[in-house]
Amino acid sequence: MDPISNILCTIRNGISAKKTYVSLPYGKIGWAICHVLYLYGYIHGMGIQLFGKHKRIVVVLLPQNEYTSYTKFTRISSPKKRVYMSVHELRSSIHSFHVRILSTPKGIMADKDAIKENVGGEVLFICN
């Protein structure tokens, strides 16, 4: 399983199991994805914790209510099939109830931020 799918699966399983936090292997991509999810309110917080010689990302999940069970992450790009969107395609297909997470030349960001920065990129997954 690729690292992005591993991150999404761990967060999704933590939400469905009604956990207060989950632990992920540390990586720059994982940290950037968690930061975007934090900015858009899909997670409550995050931090780095040392376990021996290894770093882990600790993700604090949202308090459980009727809305957190509806959080869904849909993977769009995969290692075998990459899906790219230009800034013009992002502008024409923007939805207020979806947040697309993209990997752009300026880093990992949401679709609204990519439109502000005027860049396109690989669509990693959709949050709804």
Domains and CATH numbers, the chain: 3-70 (3.30.1370.30), 73-127 (3.30.1490.10)
89-110 pLDDT per residue, tens = 999 987 778 899 999 999 999 9
pLDDT band at 118 (very low <50, low <70, confident <90, very high): very high
- Residues 54-77: what's their mean pLDDT? 85
Three-state SS sequence of the chain: CCHHHHHHHHHHHHHHCCCCEEEEECCHHHHHHHHHHHHCCCCCEEEEEEECCEEEEEEECCCCCCCHHHCCEEECCCCCCCCEECHHHHHHCCCCCCEEEEEECCEEEEHHHHHHHCCCEEEEEEEC
- Check pLDDT > 90 for residue 34: yes
